[in-house]
Structure 1
Amino acid sequence: MTTDPLDQLFELLDSLDSVDEAIDLADAVAASGDLALLPRLEAALDRFIGEGNFYAREMLGGVIASLGGTGTLPLLIRASAVDLGDDQDGLATEIVALVQSDPDESRALLEPLTKDADPVVAERAVWALRFLPGPPPHA
């Protein structure tokens, strides 16, 4: 196994041999605060989604949200729009937490997605906007 933490995490997510080790490593990567890791994490997220690995989507979604904050909402909404047959509880929790952490930025990022060419992305953006604090905006 490689010594690079991201490569280790990706290997663990590929094999799912040690879920606890994957969780611990994901937590360590998220706690690092290293924004330079985001491009690799985003590329891996795309790969795992393409492979239908919903567990990796959940895990990497949380790491990406922790590192990138509210600015990652479009990426996470697009990731959640892919049906991999899971309940997406973890990813949904991350999205809701981001929306509530910065309502103004969240609205600015999500409202354009409500008109996305992909109707599932648009629906997920509408869903996420429901979690903005305060009364819902007038239609």
Structure 2
Amino acid sequence: MSHSAARLDALAAELADPDCDFDRIEALESELLTARDMALIPRLQEHLVGAVDAGNGYGRHVLCGILAETAGSRALPELLRAFAHDLGDDQDSLTATVTEFARQDRAYARSIILPWVTGPDPGLRRTALWLLGYVPEPDDLDLLADAAQDPDDHVRSVTMGTIGSHTKTTARAVDLLTTLLADPGPQVRVSALSSLGFAQQPRTLPAIHRLAEDDSADVRAWVAIDLGRFPAPDPASLAVLDRLAGDADTYVRENAVASREKLTA
């Protein structure tokens, strides 16, 4: 076994230990980041899978960083597979890494994620659809319209955001999101509202106003948030915000008041 492989195994063991020595982890991590030993890539991948399977978010963070530094953008498939698992951490650094790699080589990134969009694993579908928003192409809308009918609420919710990446370039994306405000999942409706709020298309306001009567307090709150994003006060929007300012839910009321103040400032 090479020196680097032994150091990697030692790092993996520390990461798996609840009573790990963080100073030792930092020293081993620094050594492996500096080494950039390409021969370690298969072993890195193996340890990364083990950390993810064990639900070890910190282990995933450290091993993904070493793998990314060692393999560069060629590590994107393994990084995305690790990213697809919700381990309860924010994944900020991994998010930044995979989006940067995808933008560096759009064709490579798309060659990885497009087959996943229609694959059997909902985690990979969700991850692929999310990343597709960072490397969009005009022809993606047909694929996204199909993904918006996915049986998994989380997949459909992510799809709303990716459709939103097309709203500045095609009216069809705005029309599609407006239609999807009728989705049965409250979180999906919230995601569609969020994308429409950033699009700021006045023709979508009547559809947004209708959701002020939604059964979900989160949806009603996002109606208020959305209306505050439009650049000019609209009498109908102000009337909706006045109604929401008297909502039974505190979060809805707070956002309605904040948006009305923003629009009338």
TM-score bracket for this pair, using the shorter chain length: 0.7 to 0.9
| TM-score, normalisation: structure 2 | 0.47
**Equivalent of residue 128 in structure 1, options 126, 131, 138:** 131
Aligned length: 134
Task: Compare 51-60 and 108-117 and name the one that shifted more.
Answer: 108-117
Counterparts of residues 1-139 of structure 1 (less than 5 Å):
4-15=6-17, 17-132=20-135, 136-138=136-138, 139=141
Is the contact made by 1:49 and 1:57 (CA closer than 8 Å) also made in structure 2? yes
Corresponding letter in the other structure for 2:85 = V
Q: Compute the displacement of 1:107 (Å).
A: 1.7
Corresponding letter in the other structure for 1:115 = T
- 1:42-73 CA-partner distances (Å, limit 9, x unpaired): 11111111111110011111111121222222
Is the contact made by 1:6 and 1:29 (CA closer than 8 Å) also made in structure 2? yes
Corresponding letter in the other structure for 1:128 = L
Q: Compute the displacement of 1:20 (Å).
A: 4.0
Rounded Cα–Cα distance in structure 1 between residues aligned with 2:23 and 2:119? 37
Give unpaired runs (5+ residues) of structure 2. 142-265
| TM-score, normalisation: structure 1 | 0.84
Give unpaired runs (5+ residues) of structure 1. none
Q: Compute the displacement of 1:18 (Å).
A: 2.9
- Identity between Structure 1 and Structure 2 (%): 33
Rounded Cα–Cα distance in structure 1 between residues aligned with 2:27 and 2:134? 29
Larger relative contact order, structure 1 or 2 (CA cutoff 8 Å, min sep 6): 1
- Sort the Cα spacing of 1:30 and 1:112 in 2 relative to 1 into closer, same or farther, 3 A: farther
Of structures 1 and 2, the larger Rg is shown by 2
Q: Compute the displacement of 1:130 (Å).
A: 1.9
Q: Compute the displacement of 1:81 (Å).
A: 1.3
